[in-house]
Amino acid sequence: MALSGCAWPGRAPVERPPNVVVFLVDDLGWVDTGVYGSTFHQTPAIDQLAAEGVRFTQFYADSSVCSPTRASLMTGRHAARLHLTNWIGGEQTGQLLQADYVRQLALDERTLGEAFHDAGYATGYVGKWHLGTGEFRPDGQGFEYQFAVNDGGQPGSYFPPYANSRMPFTDVPDLETDVEPAYLTDRLTDAAVEFIGAREGPFLLVLSHYAVHTPLESKPEFEAKYAARVEPSDGPEFEDQHGYGGTKLRQDHPTYAGMLESTDDSLARVMTALDQAGIADSTIVVFVSDNGGLSTLAGRPERAPTSNEPLRAGKGWLYEGGIRIPMIVRWPDGLPAGTRNEVPATTADLLPTLLELASIDSLSPPVLDGMSLAATLAGETMPERPLFWHFPHYHGSGNRPSGAVRLGRFKLVEWFETGAVELYDLDVDLGEAEDLAAAMPDKVAELRELLAGWRAAVGAAMPTPNPSWSDDE
């Protein structure tokens, strides 16, 4: 049920239930936008959103890959509890056999769409889903309207017919009449703007862009613009990650930058649509990514399109570059503008946060791993809590099965193949360059026990020995 009104410290009560727009970008790195530190990419709309809202500096994806993070965002539950710990289709083995995982978000999980739909909201979902096909798509998970939702984790192409004959599951539906020079990011925005303009009552809209995920395809004029901005560098181009992958160390990819500019334009158009409808101040806009930027690859790191410097590694890894992401919340009727929030938080926190901000009773909620950030958004302090990650899989970035926990300033990374651990003090070593495990055995023991206890509590599936593995491989 929807409850009437809500108020935060220093704010007047909100009479009308707020609309909610979740603007989700695929593979966007923590430092890919101007407001988060990029000097190569140009993102004026994202930067403006931050100036008008609350910008988190220590926000994390639930996983270093997409499907688990999206599942946590939809349910407020950790991917390990859901047993959806890998990107759907990411099948790899090595020294270990990857942990079993489910290939869809179960229908008995209560989603963000269902919670808002039951509260009387119109609900819409546009773009990438990657949480199951058929009955497991958004229209089976609480969203009345869905558009351009394919069966894969990327589009066949960003240009008509948005298809790939080698991977038909990536073909994007609902746009069969499009002709060039149509561009997928623009067409998803068209649908979002139309959805906003047609609503008379409160609504929840998730605009989930396929960008900036591969295939790397930009509008030609944007690519040319950024090609002209590339400057030579004398520094190293790549950094090795345990001999398994290489990490790109600078942002200089014109195609990727052009794709990001189209995504920034999309946000600008969404904000204009809200303004034209007279609901910009009464709409909560959440801007977030689903994992770190693709900066680390096994074998051919030169193909990586971005850099997460000063963070270590990227998508697929449990170092900061793989899991720390941008997150901004704007709501003029309910939240202060232009503030910076240092509280560590994760995508599992978004569902309980949005329910509280909208004053929605979630109706017999399941066990949630996330907690509401409403108080900290309003400027209050939050108690310290541990944050956990579980990725019992191999990944094309070169990452091996691993887990991690952060408590306060310290973060422990555990490698499941060997049982080795690493310890970092993020307050003084954001790039995770100095492993303190040998120097701080008591802290290692504390965090290792915390991580193991959490895995047992949520029933996390673990990888198993591969009987076919040879040390010569």
Q: What was the pLDDT predicted at 472? A: 64
Q: What was the pLDDT predicted at 439? A: 98
CATH architecture entry for 19-381? 3-Layer(aba) Sandwich (3.40)
Q: What DSSP string describes 100-164? A: P--SS--TTSPPHHHHHHHTT-EEEEEE---S-SGGGSGGGTT-SEEES--SSSS-S-SSTT---
Q: What was the pLDDT predicted at 165? A: 97
* CA neighbor of 216 nearest in space, from 266, 262, 271, 264: 262
Across the chain, which has 473 residues, the per-10-residue mean pLDDT values are 37 71 98 98 98 98 98 98 97 96 97 96 98 98 98 98 97 97 98 96 98 98 98 91 96 98 98 98 98 95 96 98 98 96 98 96 77 94 95 97 98 98 98 98 98 98 95 64
Q: What kind and span of H or E run contains 355?
A: helix 350-357
Q: What was the pLDDT predicted at 361? A: 81
Question: For the chain, first and last CA: distance in Å?
Answer: 57
Q: What was the pLDDT predicted at 297? A: 97
* CA neighbor of 244 nearest in space, from 16, 402, 18, 451: 402
Q: Which residues pair with 2 in a beta bridge?
A: 360
> Does the reported pTM lie above 0.85?
yes
Q: What was the pLDDT predicted at 11? A: 41
Q: What was the pLDDT predicted at 299? A: 83
Q: Residues 60, 324: contact at Cβ < 8 Å?
A: yes
Q: Where do the H-state alpha helices sit in 295-349?
A: 320-323
Q: What was the pLDDT predicted at 249? A: 97
